[in-house]
Each structure stands twice: as C-alpha cells, then as structure tokens.
Amino acid sequence: MSIDRFFLCLLVVSLAPGCRQDRTSAGATGEPDIIVVAPQAGETGKFSALNSEQPQILVLGSTFSIARGLSPERGYAALLQQRLAAGGSLFIVLNASVAGETAAGALERLPYLLPSTLKKVVLELGQADEVLPNPPRAFSRDVKRLIRHIRARQPGLPILLLASSRTAAYYKPLATAAEEFDGVTLVALFGDTAGPARSDDATLHQKIAEQLFPLLEK
C-alpha cells in the first residue's frame, strides 16, 4: 500500500471513530476495510479523493464491488474509470466499498462520503444483507433510509441501485425503492448468470461495467 493511500484510508477511519456498523467485521471475514479510488492504484497522491474539485462518482458496495479475488483493475469500478478516462471525462470513480458491507453499514459511513462534487452514486446492495442474514424487512427499511439520507444531503442526485442478490426477499426492496424514489435506477448485478454473483468473476465485472457506463455518461 502506498503512503498516500494509507493516509486516505486513515482519514476516513479517523472521521468515524466508534461507529458501530451492522455488517460482518474484518475480524470475522479476514477482509480488511478499504477505500480505493479506481483504477489509479498507487497514484492517489495526484488528488485527495474526498476533497477533489473534480466531479466524482461514488461506488458504495460490498464484496463484489471490491472485486475480491481479482486484481483491482479488473473490477467494474476500475473498468468504469478506465472507460471514462479514455473518453476524456474528468470524472473520478471513488470506490468506497467494504467487504461484507450491509445497507445499514453503508448508511453509517455515508456522511463522510458525500463530497459537494459528487454527481452520481452507485449502491451495490442485497448480497451482504442476505448472507448476514439481515431480515428482509430490516433490509428494506435500511435501503430507504440510505436513499433518503442521500436525498437530504444532495437533492436530485442520481442513484443507481445495483442488486447483488437474486433472492426475491432482497431484490424486491430495491425494485420497490426504484419505483418510489425519483432519480433512482435499478440494475441487476447478476444479469443472466445462474447462482450468486461471484466477486472473482471477471466476465461479470466486464458486463456490469458495460451496463453501467451509459447510465453514468448521462
């Protein structure tokens, strides 16, 4: 880990001392909490992601979104950054995902991850809550709280919900939220694959990046 990345991680952690997150902990999963700006691994010294004046896209998700099992540049967040940069876009993709992150855990960290230059948010939700397990009713409540908190801070901010569970009890709350809130779009992470979405499936990451890119370009 570069020194600049270390201090970026330290900044986010220090902003939220004592926060209780309703998600599996690093000690339980062996997966460290990370903040990654995709795809410039080792190049975060070029800017401070949370304070950058460049427009930003926040990716807030769980194990799939950190591309566990793959090199970081093969994850969908990094692929999106690469495509944006190739097209001359100034957007920065801030991937603030954490392994095992639930909707409730994302809500606790959210206040520290909403810079004024934020233009869009991608929320990957469902799989971690199902695995925990967090009861579907509680998951539905947490999803709506998460969206309302974003709306309270930045009204009208476009939100993409990336459903990472095909189980109806965890997919339906996201579909319902997309119907109830203006400016919220639902995207199914698993696509046409069978079984759970695997974080180390490079082909799936590529498909998700291709599916999200036109929505982020707008």
Note down pLDDT in tens along the chain; length 218 residues: 444 443 344 344 333 333 333 333 333 333 333 334 443 333 333 334 555 678 899 999 999 999 998 888 999 999 999 999 998 888 899 999 999 999 999 999 988 888 778 899 999 999 999 999 999 999 999 999 999 999 999 999 999 999 999 899 999 999 999 999 999 999 887 655 556 778 888 888 999 999 899 888 76
- Would you say 166 and 204 are in contact if contact means Cβ atoms under 8 Å apart? no
pLDDT of 124 reads 95
CA distance 213 to 218: 9
pTM, two decimals, is 0.75
Q: Which amino acid is at 133?
A: P
* 11: enclosing H helix or E strand: helix 3-15
Task: Tell me how crowded residue 1 is: count the other CB atoms within 10 A of its CB.
Answer: 11
- Would you say 205 and 75 are in contact if contact means Cβ atoms under 8 Å apart? yes
Any residues with CB less than 8 A from the CB of 191 and at least 6 apart, and which? 204, 207, 208, 211
Cα→Cα distances 38→127, 147, 197, Å? 22, 24, 21
- Would you say 62 and 100 are in contact if contact means Cβ atoms under 8 Å apart? yes
Q: Answer positive or negative: Cα dihedral of 135, 21, 110, 206.
A: negative
CA distance 89 to 195: 35
Q: Answer positive or negative: Cα dihedral of 194, 138, 110, 19.
A: negative
Domains defined for the chain, CATH in brackets: 3-20+33-217 (3.40.50.1110)
